[in-house]
Amino acid sequence: MKLSASEEQLMNYLWKMGTAFMKDLLLAYPDPKPAPTTVATLLKRMADKKFVAYRTFGNSREYYPLIKKNTYFGYHVKGLIKNFFDNSPAQFASFFTSETDMSEEELQDLKRLIDQQLKNKKP
């Protein structure tokens, strides 16, 4: 379950919009915008990979995501933890908190999130 960088960029636009026609997706790109044929090719590849689908309205297609952003992101975070941190979420958390220059407030927010997750896990 992997998208190229250009496919991820397009997928991000689609996740934000929910559904979109080709013209909407082209408008989302900053200048210089890609050629419509480039976006059409990306959409076809993403449909072949089962990331997007579309509904047909006459000659137009309305595209929509088949996978949620959180699901895609979660898959990659799990792969990152497995491949770079010996499958240890604790090593990942240690690296994340020490190497990202988090403020004390951000660390406290993270601690609250962890405490809430621990509370939710209790029977």
The pLDDT value recorded for residue 79 is 86
CA distance 123 to 118: 10
CA distance 93 to 85: 10
Q: What CA–CA distances, in Å, run from 82 to 35, 76, 79, 89, 96?
A: 37, 10, 5, 9, 15
The pLDDT value recorded for residue 80 is 86
Could you tell me which residues come within 8 angstroms of residue 42 by beta carbon, excluding any fewer than 6 positions away?
Answer: 6, 7, 10
42: tokens are 């990306």
CATH for 5-65?
A: 1.10.10.10
The pLDDT value recorded for residue 59 is 92
Residue corresponding to tokens 């579309």: 54
All structural domains of the chain with their residue ranges: 5-65, 87-123
2: tokens are 């992997």
Cα–Cα nearest to 21, from 36, 32, 33, 4? 36
pTM, two decimal places: 0.76
pLDDT along the chain (123 residues), means of 10: 91 97 95 95 96 95 96 89 88 86 89 89 80
